Amino acid sequence: MRRLYRLFRAQVLQRLIPRSPMEFDPSGPLEVVGYLSMSAGVGESARLCADALASSGLPIRLRDVSTDPESPEAIGWHRPRESAKAATSRILHLNPPMLPRAVASIGFGKFARAFNIGYWAWELEEIPSEWKNAFRYMNAIFVPSVFTRDALARHTDRPVLVVPHPVTEKTAEDAIRCRFSIPEDAFLVSSVFSAGSSINRKNPQAVIKAFQIFRAQHSNSFLLMKASGNPATDEALRTLLAETEGMPDVKIVTDRLPSSMIQGIIRQSDAYLSLHRSEGFGLTVAEAILHETPVVSTGWSGTVDFCDPANTWNTRYNLIPVVDDHPEFAHLAHARWADADCNHAAQQLAAIAQDPAGAKAKAVRARAFLKSYLAANTYETALRALVKTQSASLRSDRLTNVIHRAAHPGRNG
């Protein structure tokens, strides 16, 4: 039944949504649409957008379309002040499979009376047909990385602009080691992942393998992983937990934790390890850099935009075919992603452990690199680029009309 619905959604619903004829109005309020009450990455994307636009002084409206809302305490977010005026444009922080439901909640007519920008996060070089169908009713697309832009832009004539997530340093709890019974003098490696975003893509298995190789030479070390997902319903996550049961120095936490505790895990680690096979951006990697935690990360896909090659540890990899049963990835015949070199990652962890002062100095420089990158690539910058693109298109249309009239003088009224 789910497979039939996905087919119906991809081939029918995506084609029924109307495209707005509106032009972008930079003076009107922007509506941010997304999973504002969910801790998932796509929800964080929408919240970061809302905060960034509000901080810039731009008038905003908010529309929460969460499918599984969580408490404000779990999210750790305070809604910014909203404009009383109706929105003339909106940014929908929802990938195409999520859009039909959200557009229906807005109303087809109301949806078409605003300039619609899709903020899409995609992690592979090949895209599904459902995404191609969704281009039709979007006026523009924002994406979190150059990697994602390159994957999408070749399939559309809509503007596709890079706007990295405007990540900010968040409140982080103290006493994390005490909370999880980790010795204060242990070299702590952390990793955070969502099992629902394809556990194969997040690749926690490689994190565990790299840590075990590292620990063979550094016995006083500990791996703490925070996984989002329910082991009772997620077989892959349940299998991963079973595989680590006999590893006393590896702990995977699946409980729902407040944002401040997750940030505390990242901040109080000696190294943050992400051996993802592919990322559209890499939120937790960016958060670790902001906390000045040394980062070891696969050197491919979205994270390379902001992982300073001189001051983060970018792990070698080989590109391999995507093999995954996630519905978004399962039918992409030519897709590929990275298989990180676990031995190289272990060597990078060892380099951090052997020179903690040097690693900390590099982490400070990595933070400066990230902040500079984010400052140069803001929502305001992208919105100004939209205005220029729109103006250039209008000038081109006028020039085409002039040339047409000159070439066909008898048709001029």
List of domains in the chain = 2-166+378-396 (3.40.50.11930), 176-374 (3.40.50.2000)
pLDDT > 80? residue 144: yes
pLDDT > 80? residue 1: no
> Residues 377-412: pLDDT tens digits?
999 999 999 998 877 665 544 434 533 454 455 554
> Residues 268-294: pLDDT tens digits?
999 999 999 999 999 999 999 999 999
Question: Across the chain, what does the average pLDDT equal?
Answer: 91
% of the chain surpassing 70 pLDDT: 95
Look at residue 401 in the predicted model and tell me its pLDDT: 54
- Decide which of 172 and 73 is more confident: 172
> Residues 212-232: pLDDT tens digits?
999 999 999 999 999 988 899
% of the chain surpassing 90 pLDDT: 77
Look at residue 393 in the predicted model and tell me its pLDDT: 60
> Residues 67-117: pLDDT tens digits?
988 888 778 888 999 999 999 999 999 999 999 999 999 999 999 999 999
Look at residue 404 in the predicted model and tell me its pLDDT: 47
Task: Report how far apart, in Å, the C-alpha atoms of 403 and of each of 288, 375, 387, 395, 397 are.
Answer: 55, 42, 24, 12, 10
Q: How confident is the model at residue 332 (pLDDT cuts 50, 70, 90)?
A: confident
pLDDT > 90? residue 123: yes
Rounded to two decimals, the pTM is 0.90
> Residues 343-371: pLDDT tens digits?
999 999 999 999 999 999 999 999 999 99
Look at residue 399 in the predicted model and tell me its pLDDT: 35
